[in-house]
Amino acid sequence: MMKAETTLRLIETGRVIAIMRGQFGGREEDIVAAIVEAGVTAVEVTLNSPNAIDSIERLARRFGLNTAIGAGTVLRPGDVERVADAGAQFIVSPNRNLEVIATTKRLGLVSLPGCFTPSETIEAIEAGADAVKLFPAVCLGVNFVRALRGPLPDVRLVPTGGVTPEAAREYFAAGAWAVGAGSELIGKDVMLPGGMENLRTRAAEFAAARQDLVRPQLKIS
């Protein structure tokens, strides 16, 4: 099993967690191959997707050495154990469940619980969470991230929900550690003609948002 420190480094490398939710007709590996090629280094398969455990197992087997493969919408401690057996390296939830966090850390996985308030964020970190999924980010906004960074500068914040490439760029500039991108990245159009090319374009746009943050700014004299 990949060590938690390695998983965190992989997520931090790309700073985008691609969220796979729904039915993709067995094309999950093709989808992940396309976004990994564009520079995405973390993929979350939600447990409310058909055959989620099987998808996690296949993706972990093929991409797990160089890409962090995780499980999302994890609501119960027992689900953590199931996805850990399938090869998941990180656990994402829409809520802050202390038992889920504890089980995740006991199994040596990276914990990203969902939080909406400063109190939930602090409680999650004190319970052992490695990062905090700010959800739904579309309701919180960039200014919330910037404000939260004041008292909590060392907390890894991962805005998720309604994150476009443009929003990702703003979140990174505000201090977000990473972002979670769902249908804004892996949309249902991947099943349509030309959909995979659209996916590659979107993945490249998300990767560019991250690169813009680390690229030195040229001074114009």
| Active site positions, annotated | 44, 133
Rounded alpha-carbon distances, angstroms, from residue 40 to 68, 126, 203, 206 = 10, 29, 7, 8
Rounded alpha-carbon distances, angstroms, from residue 1 to 8, 53, 86, 106, 141 = 14, 16, 10, 13, 35
Helix 165-174 with 195-214: angle, nearest 10 deg: 20
User: Is residue 155 a contact partner of residue 173, using CB atoms and an 8 Å limit?
Assistant: no
Give the phi and the psi of residue 98 in degrees, each rounded to 5: -65, -30
